[in-house]
Every structure is written in structure tokens, then in C-alpha cells.
Amino acid sequence: MDGTLFQTNKILEISLKETFDHLRMLNLWEKETPIEKYREIMGVPLPVVWETLLPDHKNIVREQANDFFHEKLITHINEGNGALYPHVVEVFNLLKNNGCSIFIASNGQIEYLQAIVRHYHLDRWVTETFSIQQIQSQNKGDLVQTIVKKYTIEKGAVIGDRLSDINAAKSNGLMAIGCNFDFAQEDELAQADIKIDSLLELRMIVEKLSCKA
């Protein structure tokens, strides 16, 4: 979802700033908002996010910060401050017309993902949305494996912008398509089977996948 379908950067910085302003108000933070640090670790499970951003704080503070952060994210989504990446709708139509089933596998929280799906009516194309919260291991490879088993998928691809997406594809015998978008890192994308700079490039890839619903 983040950095592949949804332009998280449009609401990320303001939501993170609001969260750390809240922490400052509670006298729990004095430094600058660690926006760059968050950008570096985009794609990791949420517990790792807050352990990294708040390394010297107790878990209860991290949990409260995460809850506040997600409230702000969802508010901005509902207010229309975010956006899908260019050509998402066009590509989704293309995939569905070619008999492909579409799933979202994300490290995002369930309520956050549901807000995006609802606001942009993604359920018109997406068969099911899966959150890392649904599996105990907090590993995206295991999350994708859940989808593969549930829907008996024999051929397909994982399309994403971070190493966790690429590894999830390879651990499940799927094609890894790396998106060179906002949060992508070159050394991670180098490990993908294919790198794309625009979702429109999926046009040529779809035929090779020979997807079946």
C-alpha cells in the first residue's frame, strides 16, 4: 500500500510532526521530528518503527505515539489530503481485465488500510487486503504466504518499493517487481527481478505473468 499504491509522503510528514508536537507537549520529546529516520525505515513492522524513532522510551509511550500517529493519518486520509500514485486506477482495470486477482499485503495497521481502501473505493478491484497485524511473526513473507495458500496462487508477483516486498516475493516463489518511487532505495531495488519507474510499465509485464483469476 504505502509507497506503491498510496502516496504516503503526502500525509506522513504532517502526521509525524503532529505526533512529535504532541510528545513535546507531554514533555516526552525535545529534539527535531525524526522525519528522515522514518523515511529510511519505511516498510518495517510498526513495533520496529517506534523502537527506532523512540529508542529511549518505554513501550507504553511508543504505543501511545503509534495510536496518536495513526489517528492523524486516518484523519488526513478522510479529509482527502493523501493521493493514489498516478495510473493506479488504470493499471487496476488492466489487471482485472486480464484476469488477474489483486491483493494488498501491507505492514500498515488494519484501520489505516481500511481507511485508504474505503476512501478510494479500492475494493472495486482488490479481492482482499491483508495487514501484518493478522500474523504473529510480523514478517511480510509470511503474510504473502497466507495469501498464496488461501487463494491457491501458483503464479504471480509482489509489487512494492522496499526490501521486505522483494524478499516476500522470493520466499514465496513469486516475481519481485520493485517500484522506484518515493521511499525506494537503490540497493534494495537492485535485488528485485524487475524495476519499474511507473505503474504503467506493468502493461508489458502482465502478459508474461499469464494471470488467471
Q: Render pLDDT for 121-154 as a digit per residue (tens, 0 to 9).
A: 999 999 999 999 999 998 999 999 999 999 999 9
The domain boundary, picked from 78, 102, 120, lies at 78
Residues 6+ away with beta carbon under 8 Å from 17: 33, 35
74 and 93 within one domain: no
Query: How far apart (Å, rounded) are the C-alpha atoms in residues 132 and 134?
Result: 5
Q: Is residue 121 a part of any domain in this protein?
A: yes
The helix (H) or strand (E) run that includes residue 95 is helix 88-97
Tell me the average pLDDT across 85-113: 94
Spatial contact of 7 and 84, defined as CB atoms under 8 Å apart: yes
How many helices (DSSP H) and strands (DSSP E) are in the chain? Answer: 10, 5
* pLDDT band, very low/low/confident/very high, at 210 (cuts 50, 70, 90): low
For the chain, what percent of residues have pLDDT higher than 70?
Answer: 97
Residue written as grid cell 488467471: 212
Nearest to 181 by CA among 167, 192, 169, 173: 192
37-64 per-position pLDDT tens digit: 988 887 777 888 999 999 999 999 999 9
- Percentage of residues in the chain with pLDDT exceeding 90? 85
Q: Mark which of 78, 104, 129 sits at the end of a domain.
A: 78
Residue-range definition of the domain harbouring residue 174: 88-209
Query: What are the Cα distances from residue 78, in Å, to 21, 28, 182?
Result: 21, 28, 22
Regarding whether 61 and 113 lie in a shared domain, the answer is: no
Please tell me whether residues 66 and 170 are part of one structural domain: no
CATH of the domain at 104: 3.40.50.1000
What pLDDT, on a 0 to 100 scale, did the predictor assign at position 213? 39
The answer to whether position 83 is within a domain reads no
Count CB atoms within 10 A of the CB of residue 67: 12
What is the chain's mean pLDDT, rounded?
93
Residue 208 clears pLDDT 80, i.e. is over it: no
Residue where one domain finishes, among candidates 52, 78, 104: 78
Looking at residue 209, what is its pLDDT?
60
Whether residues 20 and 53 share a domain: the answer is yes
Residue 2 in any domain: the answer is no
Average pLDDT over residues 108-115: 95
Residue 3 lies in a domain: no
Angle at 101 between CA 100 and CA 107, to 5 degrees: 130
- The label of the residue with cell 514465496 reads 172
- In this structure, are 95 and 165 located in the same domain? yes
